[in-house]
Amino acid sequence: MKRIILLSIAALPFVNEVFAQNEFDALRYSNLDYYGDARFNAMGGSFGALGANMSGLSINPGGIGVYKSSDFSFTPAFHYNYSESNYKGNLSTDGKLNFHFANIGLVGTWKASGNWESFNFGLGYNRTSNYNTSITVNGNTDSSALSNFTNELNAGGGTFETDISSFYPFSSNLAYQTYLVNPLLSDSTQYNHVFSNSSNIKQRTTYETRGGSGEVYFAMGGNYNDRLYLGATIGIPTVRYVYDRTYTETADESDTLTLAKSYSMHDYVKTSGAGVNFKLGLIYKVVDWFRIGTAFHTPTVYSLRDNYETIINSEMKDGATFEERSPYGTFDYYVTTPYRFITSGSIIMGNHGVLNVDYEIVDYSSARLKEDNYTYGGGSGADFSPENQNIRSNFVLTQNLRVGTEWRLDPFRIRAGYRYNGNPLDSRFNNDYGSSTYSLGFGIKEDDYYFDMAYALKMQENDVNVNVEQAEFANTTLKNHYITFTLGFRF
C-alpha cells in the first residue's frame, strides 16, 4: 500500500528531513481555496461569468468591466479549524481559532466614449489560503522513534562520537547531547537509545500550523457595448507559513529497563516570501439572461525563505534534565506553481436571482522547485531534480468545480454555494486530497451601501504521520469553519 503523509497539504517528515524542501512545498502553495468577501464566499467562490465582485477578480479579471459604479469594501473573517485524530484506537480532538482580513479593495469607474461604455481600475487584497490548523495525536508504541537516530548513526559502519555534531547537527546530535542516544561499550562507533528495551511507551504528537497566503492585485478593464467585458490583473501573492510540531515519548510508570523518564522534540519551520503572476479574462453576454466567461492565470513564481530549528529536551528518572538546540538554519528557493484555466457560465433570472458555475483546470504536475542562488550571495548547490521528478510522477491535472446562486428579496439577498477541489495526487496513492466546501449567506443591498455575511464549511481527511520510518500514522478528519462579514460602499 502506498501512502503520502499530509497535513494541510504539507509533508511532515521526521528528524533530519523535516527541513528539506520537497514536492509538498510546491503543492501547498499551488493549492488555492480563493477566500474573500462574504458574497463571494457564500456563493462558493463562483463568480467567473458574473463579475462586479472584488474577490471575483482573483478568478476572472474580466469581471472588473461589469462594474457600473465605483466600489469600496472590506471583510474581516474568523476561521476555526476542528480536528479529530484516530491513532491505534485513541481518539483525540483539537482546534484553533484565527482572525484575519479576507478582503479589502477599491474599484474606480470612468465613463468612456463610442462603443466603450466605461474603463475601470481596481486594487485590493484577497485571501487565497488558510494554513491555520491544530492537531493532537495520542497513543502507545513498543518501538521508540529514537531508533531513527540510532539507525542514522549506525549506518555505513557507524559514526565516531567526534563527528556527530558536524554530520548530524539537526538530528542525531540533539539526541546524543541529551543522553537519549549513547555509544555501545563494545563498539564506540555503534549506538543504542534509552528506550531500546521499553514497551508501552506513551506517545503524544501535536501539530500546529499558522499563517496563510493572499494576493495583492492591480486590475484594469472595460465594458464594450454592454456585451463584452475585458480585464487583466497583475497579482503579487504573499505567503506566511509557520509549522510547529512537538513529539513526546514517556516511559511507562512500571518500566524498570530505562533510566529515562521522557523526551520531547520540537520542530519549527517558518516560510515567508512573495511572488508575481498575471491574469487575463473576459465575460461575454450572449443574451440578457446568459453569460459566459473565461480566464487564464499564468504560473506564479514565488521567492521563498525557510527559517528552521529543532530542540530536544530530555528528563531522567533521577530528575536531571537536558536541552539541546540545533543551529538556526535558513534556505532560499523558488516555487513555480501551475497555470490555471477557468471557464464559466451564468444564468441571470431577471430581478429574481442568478446561478453561476465555474470549471477550473489546474495541472499540478507542472509545478517546480529551484534553489535561489542570487538573493544572499550564492546557494548551497541543492539539486531539486528528485523532487521535481516526484512532482511530474505523483501529481496530476485536476478539475475543480464551483457552483453558486443568489436570490433577491429586496433589499435582502439569500445565497448558497458549493465548491469541490479535485485530488492533486495520482490515483495509485490511497490518499484522496480532494475537498468539499459548503456555504450559505445573506446580505442587505441598498443604493449606496451593502452588508453581507457568509458561513462556509470545508471538510477533508488526511493521514498524519506520528513516526514515518516505522509507518505509524493517524487518520485525521479536518473541519474548517469560516465566517466572513463584508461592508461595502458604492459611489
pLDDT recorded at residue 32: 93
Distances (CA, A) of 90 to 85, 100, 136, 248: 8, 33, 11, 16
Query: Does a structural domain hold residue 180?
Result: no
Cα angle, residue 424 at apex, residues 421 and 427 outer, rounded to 5°: 115
Write the pLDDT tens digit of every residue in 120-156.
999 999 999 999 999 999 999 999 999 999 999 999 9
What's the total number of domains in the chain? 1
Core vs surface per residue 438-463: b (16+ CB within 10 A) or e: ebbbbbebeeeebebbbbbebebebe
Residue with cell 493572499: 214
The neighbouring-strand residues paired with 13 are: none
Core vs surface per residue 397-423: b (16+ CB within 10 A) or e: ebebbbbbbbebeeeebebbbbbebbb
Query: Does a structural domain hold residue 483?
Result: yes
pLDDT recorded at residue 427: 85
Q: Is 375 helix (H, G, I), strand (E, B) or coil?
A: coil
pLDDT recorded at residue 428: 85
What's the grid cell of residue 210? 499558522
In this prediction, residues 362-366 reach a mean pLDDT of 97
pLDDT recorded at residue 9: 37
Residue 407 one-letter amino acid: W
Write the pLDDT tens digit of every residue in 317-346.
999 999 999 999 999 999 999 999 999 999
The neighbouring-strand residues paired with 71 are: 107, 490
Residues spanned by the domain of 349? 15-146+194-490
Query: Does a structural domain hold residue 122?
Result: yes
Query: Does a structural domain hold residue 107?
Result: yes
Residue 69 one-letter amino acid: S
User: Which residues neighbour 320 within 8 Å (Cβ) at sequence distance 6 or greater?
Assistant: none
- Higher pLDDT: 7 or 332? It is 332
Least confident of 255-269, 375-389, 399-413: 375-389
What's the grid cell of residue 389? 521528478
pLDDT above 50 for 406: yes
Write the pLDDT tens digit of every residue in 17-63.
445 678 889 999 999 999 999 999 999 999 999 999 999 999 999 99
Query: Does a structural domain hold residue 59?
Result: yes
- 8-state DSSP, 24: H
Are 72 and 385 spatial neighbours (Cβ–Cβ below 8 Å)? Answer: no
pLDDT recorded at residue 139: 94
pLDDT recorded at residue 381: 64
User: Which residues neighbour 124 within 8 Å (Cβ) at sequence distance 6 or greater?
Assistant: 54, 57, 103, 104, 105, 106, 216, 217
Please, which pLDDT band fits residue 462 given cuts at 50, 70 and 90? Answer: confident
> How far, in Å, CA of 101 to CA of 119, rounded?
28
Are 44 and 56 spatial neighbours (Cβ–Cβ below 8 Å)? Answer: no
pLDDT above 80 for 379: no
In this prediction, residues 453-465 reach a mean pLDDT of 90
Residue 323 one-letter amino acid: E
User: Which residues neighbour 269 within 8 Å (Cβ) at sequence distance 6 or greater?
Assistant: 18, 19, 241, 242, 243, 306, 307, 308
pTM: 0.90
pLDDT recorded at residue 6: 41
Query: Does a structural domain hold residue 34?
Result: yes
> How far, in Å, CA of 104 to CA of 108, rounded?
14
Nearest to 121 by CA among 223, 222, 39: 222
Are 205 and 136 spatial neighbours (Cβ–Cβ below 8 Å)? Answer: yes
pLDDT above 80 for 201: yes
pLDDT recorded at residue 472: 84
Write the pLDDT tens digit of every residue in 286-322.
999 999 999 999 999 999 999 999 999 999 999 999 9
pLDDT recorded at residue 315: 98
Q: What is the CATH number of the domain that holds 287?
A: 2.40.160.60
Residue 445 one-letter amino acid: K
Handedness of CA 417, 423, 427, 429 (dihedral sign): negative
Nearest to 368 by CA among 341, 340, 339, 342: 339
Q: With pLDDT > 70 as the criterion, what percentage of the chain qualifies?
A: 94
Please, which pLDDT band fits residue 1 given cuts at 50, 70 and 90? Answer: very low
Query: Does a structural domain hold residue 10?
Result: no
> How far, in Å, CA of 260 to CA of 98, rounded?
38
Query: Does a structural domain hold residue 176?
Result: no
pLDDT recorded at residue 14: 31
> How far, in Å, CA of 13 to CA of 48, rounded?
38
Q: Residue 44 CB: number of other CB atoms within 10 A?
A: 27
Write the pLDDT tens digit of every residue in 425-445.
998 887 778 899 999 999 999
pLDDT above 80 for 8: no
Least confident of 97-106, 159-168, 364-373: 364-373
> How far, in Å, CA of 480 to CA of 101, rounded?
17
What average pLDDT is seen over the chain? 92
Please, which pLDDT band fits residue 374 given cuts at 50, 70 and 90? Answer: low
